């Protein structure tokens, strides 16, 4: 084989001691750098957002009925020292700042220290804690409580013309919700509310909805530590019909007067009401009063309460009405009546009328009044319920021949009832 100049040069290089010394030195340097970087000199590293965790929380809840209701911080920052290799195995999510709750015996605010917990794969002997921020964790320890709150409703949406939804009339199943949680948090709850949303409503309906917790100012509350016995509720939403109804007065004829003889002015003349459609369909007028015309010769303006049928609500807000009335087309005057008689005298008794006459006020239409005389008027007492002896007995006044005429007022007479001899 020929002696190649390049081959000869390689052989001389292998036999050169200087070459091998330099190669060994480079390898040693690389090994030293690797070892010192991973196993030699220590470094510092800060881990941000280390989560705060607890031990003994379940035991504190089960035996003492206590829970952590609030904490000053949920994460901490820690600076650790160690070799590059050891620190490289850690992230902030691998470390826990553990607070031991086993020594807590009562509710209140506590400042607690914590210890650091590492993954099992990390050699904790090679890790040293340099600093922590903050150094302690403030905890609010609260008594666990259970309370029930009634459910209320709110409607958000639109209704068809002539209808309305009254949230106060909503019913719920269940009607209340029971919560278990820290007393301080339950104290903040003022209302449990279900919001129902629907468009163009014209009939009652049932919906299933979630509820929200509200404080006394209507702000929404959210608690992580509060648990409830139900998450959703069934809501029955009634829908009412809206209608304008006139106000009136029930005029009972008597004393020669009928509704045709009375001018009535009511303020307000009508009100706007809401209620069940079946109820309002037959409701065209609401009488604020019933007036016996036989008891009046004239009227004073009078205020009456507006009484609504069951299940009907006044939307326009009126609670009373003022009524002014006056007679028209009538005359009245007094007559001395001597025609006094009795009927239904009890068997075995005789009746004697003590009164000789009565002065009676008679009222009639103007075209009739001049035709009436005392001879047309008679007073009759019914003795069906009369007692033996002298008694004052109610009577009925008759004006014979004039149906449109009548007597104003009452005219009782004295009667002596004696047993027959």
- Whether the model pTM is above 0.85: no
Q: Is 372 exposed, middle or buried (0-12, 13-18, 19+ CB in 10 A)?
A: buried
Helix (H) or strand (E) holding 11: helix 5-14
166 close to 138: Cβ distance less than 8 angstroms? no
Burial of residue 299 (CB within 10 Å: 0-12, 13-18, 19+) is middle
Report the SS3 class of residue 170: coil
> Could you tell me the residue ranges of all domains in the chain?
42-135, 147-159+168-235, 241-328, 331-419
Averaged pLDDT of the chain:
89
Residues β-bridged to residue 380: 341, 396
Does this chain's domain 42-135 share its CATH topology with 331-419?
yes
Q: Residue 71 and residue 154: Cα distance in Å, rounded?
A: 34
Q: What beta strand segments (E) does 96-231 contain?
A: 96-100, 108-112, 115-117, 128-133, 137-159, 163-165, 171-173, 176-182, 191-201, 205-214, 220-221, 227-228
Mean pLDDT along residues 349-357: 93
User: pLDDT tens digit string along 67-107?
Assistant: 998 899 999 999 999 988 888 889 999 999 999 999 999 99
Averaged pLDDT, 31-58: 78
Enter the CATH code of domain 241-328. 2.170.120.40
Sheet holding 320-327, edge to edge: 262-267, 320-327, 302-305
Cα–Cα distance, 98 to 116 (Å, whole number): 6
Tokens representing 388? 């033996």
Architecture, CATH, for domain 147-159+168-235: Beta Complex (2.170)
**Residue 34 CB partners (closer than 8 Å, separation 6+):** none
Question: What per-residue string of b and e applies to 127-163 under the rule 16 or more CB within 10 Å gives b?
Answer: beeeebeeeebebbbbebbeeebebebebeeebeeeb
User: In the numeric block, which tokens belong to residue 70?
Assistant: 């609030």
Give the C-alpha separation, 113 to 101, whole Å. 10
Q: Residue 8: pLDDT above 70? A: no
Structure tokens at 316: 């326009």
Pick the CATH number of 42-135 from 1.10.3210, 2.170.120, 1.10.10, 2.30.30: 2.170.120
pLDDT range class, residue 20, cuts 50, 70, 90? low
Q: Sign (positive/negative) of CA torsion 285, 286, 288, 289?
A: positive
199 contact partners, CB below 8 Å, separation of at least 6: 157, 158
How far apart are the C-alpha atoms of 287 and 402, rounded to whole Å? 30
Q: What is the pLDDT of residues 239-284, one digit of tens each?
A: 889 999 999 999 999 999 999 999 999 999 999 999 888 888 889 9
User: Could you tell me which of 300, 310, 218 has the C-alpha nearest to residue 273?
Assistant: 310
Cα–chain center distance at 247: 32
Contacts of 90 (CB under 8 A, 6+ apart): 45, 47, 80, 118, 119, 122, 127
Q: What is the 8-class DSSP label of residue 29?
A: H
The three-class DSSP label of residue 91 is coil
pLDDT tens digit sequence for 187-219: 999 999 999 999 998 888 999 989 999 999 999
Domain spanning 331-419 has what CATH number? Answer: 2.170.120.30
What does the pLDDT read at residue 1?
46
Q: Quick one: tokens of 337?
A: 């009546």
120 pLDDT tier (thresholds 50, 70, 90): confident
């Amino acid at each position: 084989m020929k002696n190649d100049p390049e081959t000869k040069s390689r052989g001389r290089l292998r036999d050169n001691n200087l070459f091998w010394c330099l190669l060994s030195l480079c390898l040693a340097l690389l090994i030293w750098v690797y070892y010192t970087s991973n196993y030699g000199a220590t470094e510092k590293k800060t881990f941000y957002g280390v989560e705060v965790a607890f031990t003994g929380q379940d035991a504190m809840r089960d035996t003492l009925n206590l829970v952590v209701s609030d904490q000053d911080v949920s994460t901490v920052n820690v600076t650790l020292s160690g070799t590059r290799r050891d620190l490289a195995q850690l992230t902030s999510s691998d470390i826990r700042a553990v607070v031991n709750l086993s020594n807590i015996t009562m509710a209140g605010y506590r400042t607690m220290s914590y210890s650091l917990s590492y993954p099992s794969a990390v050699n904790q002997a090679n890790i040293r804690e340099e600093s922590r921020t903050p150094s302690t964790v403030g905890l609010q320890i609260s008594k666990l409580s259970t309370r029930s709150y009634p459910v209320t409703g709110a409607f958000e949406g639109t209704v068809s013309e002539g209808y309305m939804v009254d949230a106060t009339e909503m019913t719920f199943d269940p009607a209340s919700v029971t919560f278990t949680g820290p007393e301080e948090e339950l104290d903040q709850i003022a209302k449990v509310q279900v919001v129902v949303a629907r468009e163009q409503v014209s009939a009652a309906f049932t919906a299933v909805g979630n509820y929200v917790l509200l404080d006394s100012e209507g702000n929404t509350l959210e608690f992580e530590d509060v648990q409830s016995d139900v998450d959703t509720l069934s809501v029955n939403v009634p829908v009412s019909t809206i209608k304008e109804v006139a106000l009136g007065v029930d005029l009972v004829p008597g004393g020669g007067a009928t509704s045709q003889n009375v001018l009535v002015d009511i303020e307000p003349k009508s009100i706007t009401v809401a209620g069940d459609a079946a109820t309002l369909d037959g409701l065209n007028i609401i009488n604020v009063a019933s007036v016996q015309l036989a008891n009046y010769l004239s009227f004073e303006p009078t205020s009456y309460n507006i009484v609504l049928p069951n299940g009907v609500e006044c939307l326009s807000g009126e609670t009373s009405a003022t009524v002014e009335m006056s007679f028209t087309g009538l005359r009245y005057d007094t007559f001395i009546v001597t025609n006094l008689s009795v009927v239904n005298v009890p068997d075995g008794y005789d009746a004697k009328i003590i009164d000789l006459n009565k002065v009676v006020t008679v009222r009639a239409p103007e075209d009739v009044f001049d035709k009436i005389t005392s001879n047309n008027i008679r007073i009759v007492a019914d003795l069906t319920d009369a007692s033996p002896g002298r008694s004052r007995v109610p009577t009925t006044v008759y004006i014979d021949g004039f149906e449109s005429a009548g007597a104003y007022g009452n005219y009782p007479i004295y009667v002596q009832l004696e047993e027959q001899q």
